[in-house]
Amino acid sequence: MSPVQIWEAPLKTLSSEITWKGFLFLEVMYYLTLMKYLWSIGVLLILSSCNTQLHQSISDVSGDQTTTPLSIRADDEQAIRAVMAMQETAWSAGDLDAFMEGYWNSEDLVFVGRNGPQYGWQTTLENYKKGYPDLSAMGKLQFDILRIRPISQDAYSMIGKYTLIRADDEPSGYFTLIWRKIDGKWLIVSDHTSG
């Protein structure tokens, strides 16, 4: 064997191993890339299906395929605003019992204020009576509704500002309310007020 043949033999073997290993590497990479694309397409199809099912569920609840599923209904907004107006009048007259008619009379009512979450209609009424013992402490109540949006067919969220107009000051703050239609009446089921 010549010196050239001695060097050529291992190089040919090494070259054929590199070619075979390189081909195997490329084939594995091809299949991995293919699997990645197939996986991505599968995920997209599943997400698309979920979105279609969600839209169909919302449409089924609304019963009307021609309108936006969660659009504000004028009669609902008017009824909610009427409750707010009743509460302004009752508060300004010093009638906390009438004011509380705008709240859900349930132990599941939630009021969140500076002391954290408090539960129940009676607890909320008692806290109002402690914090506002007389008409001078209550003042005249004014609401400014900043935003009202439907959450579902029987629930709305509301963001607003309140102002108490009193002889010596005018404290104000903001509130977030969740309204539910219960037994045909719009009632506050959750009130988060800060001020």
Over the stretch 64-78, which tens digit does the pLDDT of each residue have?
444 456 788 899 999
- Count CA atoms within 13 Å of residue 136 on its CB side: 2
Residue-level pLDDT at 54: 45
185-194/172-182 β-pairing: antiparallel
Query: Could you tell me the two tokens for 48?
Result: 């698309």
What CA–CA distance (Å, rounded) separates 188 from 195?
A: 19
Torsion of CA 128, 111, 99, 152, to 10 degrees: 180
Kindly tell me if the per-residue pLDDT of 26 is higher than 80: no
- pTM recorded for the entire structure: 0.65
Q: At which residue do the structure tokens 């309108």 appear?
A: 67
Over the stretch 93-111, which tens digit does the pLDDT of each residue have?
999 999 999 999 999 999 9
What CA–CA distance (Å, rounded) separates 135 from 167?
A: 11
Query: Could you tell me the two tokens for 140?
Result: 């005249």
Q: Rounded to 5 degrees, what are φ and ψ at 118? A: -125, 145
Q: Residue 80, Cβ neighbours under 10 Å: how many?
A: 22
Nearest of 121, 116, 123 to residue 104 by alpha carbon: 121
Give CA 38 to chain center in angstroms: 33
In the predicted model, what is the mean pLDDT of the chain?
81
Residue-level pLDDT at 104: 98
Nearest of 54, 65, 55, 58 to residue 153 by alpha carbon: 58
Kindly tell me if the per-residue pLDDT of 16 is higher than 90: no
Query: Could you tell me the two tokens for 155?
Result: 């629930």
Residue-level pLDDT at 169: 96
What CA–CA distance (Å, rounded) separates 63 from 153?
A: 10
